[in-house]
Amino acid sequence: MFHRKDTRPVRVGDLTIGGSNEVIMQSMCTTKTADVKATVAEILRLEEAGCQIVRVTVNNKEAAEAIKEIKKQIHIPLVSDIHFDHRLALAAIENGIDKVRINPGNIGRREKVEAVVKACKERGIPIRIGVNAGSLENHLLEKYGYPTPEAMVESALFHINILEELDFHDIIVSLKASDVPMAIAAYSQAAKAFNYPLHLGITEAGTLFTGAVKSAAGIGTLLNMGLGNTLRISLSADPVEEIKVARELLKTFGLITNAATLVSCPTCGRLDIDLFSIANEVEDYIAKIKVPIKVSVLGCAVNGPGEAREADIGIAGARGEGMLFRYGEMIRKVPEAELLTELKREIDVIVKAYEET
């Protein structure tokens, strides 16, 4: 099985997916792509949340034309999502797209595929083959009867072969299914079949809550197996939430080096402070921090001090007050009303120290 580090590095704009590069977080716009103002506004919010690559649908001529203007106003690579119509792919490429998601086997006649591949080659643009359990080719459904991991991998190989025959290798592959065990099996088998980078995703995963759980189960399993070079959490929610979930997932597996982590206790009858609101406020506060610090928020003095000592900075609650810990040392006691302000101040000090080293 090809570990993520053994995959072929593929350039996407100023980033590289695959090889020894970090796992990259992606999302997709919910706006009409032709509405440049709304699309750019959404992309800028995604950038601020930490999104590294963003995809837009290119389903008509107006959307393909909008790419030129969108590109001028954003700072991360832009991917066009195209189904069937090679003229839209050519227009997107002409207008400066950084990556094209299209399945070459669905484009039609050979010369149409060749035209897209030629345009991508000339500009160094990669192609993502997006296999989806819900839209497998008829010849595979006839062979397998219904979507299976084997059918999905065969679909990926069918599209890969078309590109390889044209000596095109800047390929990224996704094998998405809403059935989590099927997606895990498909990605695992794919990692044995080829060494192109894998874009992970559980498609149609659901709303923020259910989608985050399903995606964490599926993508987390694959990340833990050493698979996946880029990922998208698909949620029926604001796409910024997709990035928040993606960041948390990557942090869980130590696959992100520039994010702060919060440790907070579940609380119990020993709780002496308003921990839920403090933990939520701290989580919001550290969301945009770009250094790998660990902040702990513990409810009481029983387990609190021990846990707080493991973190760079932390608090452990006591009756009406809290103990503030920095690098394992209790630095002072603070009244509960000032706890959050003091903790934020100490977080700022630690972040500044990190940034200066």
Which one of residues 198, 300, 308, 324 is an interface residue with ligand SF4 (CB under 6 A)? 300
Question: In this chain, which stretch among 1-9, 89-97, 292-300, 324-332 interacts with ligand SF4, using CB under 6 A?
Answer: 292-300
At its nearest, how many Å lie between ligand SF4 and the CB of residue 297?
A: 9
At its nearest, how many Å lie between ligand SF4 and the CB of residue 267?
A: 5
Which residue type occupies 293?
A: I
Which one of residues 123, 192, 270, 352 is an interface residue with ligand SF4 (CB under 6 A)? 270
CB neighbour class for 266 (10 Å; exposed up to 12, middle 13-18, buried from 19): exposed
321 is a contact residue toward ligand SF4 (CB under 6 A): no
Q: Is 265 annotated as a binding residue?
A: yes
SS3 of 85-149? CHHHHHHHHHCCCCEEECCHHHCCCHHHHHHHHHHHHHHCCCEEEEEEHHHCCHHHHHHHCCCCH
Which two tokens mark 32? 């009409």
Q: Which residue is nearest to ligand SF4 (CB)?
A: 299
Restricted to residues 2-21, the positions that interact with ligand SF4 (CB under 6 A) are: none
Please state, in angstroms and rounded to a whole number, the distance separating the CA atoms of residues 27 and 40. Answer: 13
How many residues are there in the chain? 357
Phi-psi region of 84 (alpha: psi -120 to 50; beta: other; left: phi over 0): left
Restricted to residues 248-267, the positions that interact with ligand SF4 (CB under 6 A) are: 265-267
Q: Measured from the CB atom, is 63 or 323 closer to ligand SF4?
A: 323
At its nearest, how many Å lie between ligand SF4 and the CB of residue 251?
A: 21
322 is a contact residue toward ligand SF4 (CB under 6 A): no
Q: Count of alpha carbons within 13 Å of 30, Cβ hemisphere only?
A: 12
340 is a contact residue toward ligand SF4 (CB under 6 A): no
Which one of residues 127, 298, 339, 351 is an interface residue with ligand SF4 (CB under 6 A)? 298
Please state, in angstroms and rounded to a whole number, the distance separating the CA atoms of residues 28 and 187. Answer: 21
Which two tokens mark 230? 């880029």
At its nearest, how many Å lie between ligand SF4 and the CB of residue 200?
A: 33
Q: Is 268 annotated as a binding residue?
A: yes
In 199-347, beta strands by DSSP E: 199-200, 230-232, 261-264, 294-298, 313-318, 321-326, 329-335
Q: How many residues bind ligand SF4 (CB under 6 A)?
A: 12
Q: Is 307 annotated as a binding residue?
A: yes
Annotated binding site for [4Fe-4S] cluster: 265, 268, 300, 307
Interface contacts to ligand SF4, rule CB under 6 A: 265-268, 270-271, 298-300, 302-304
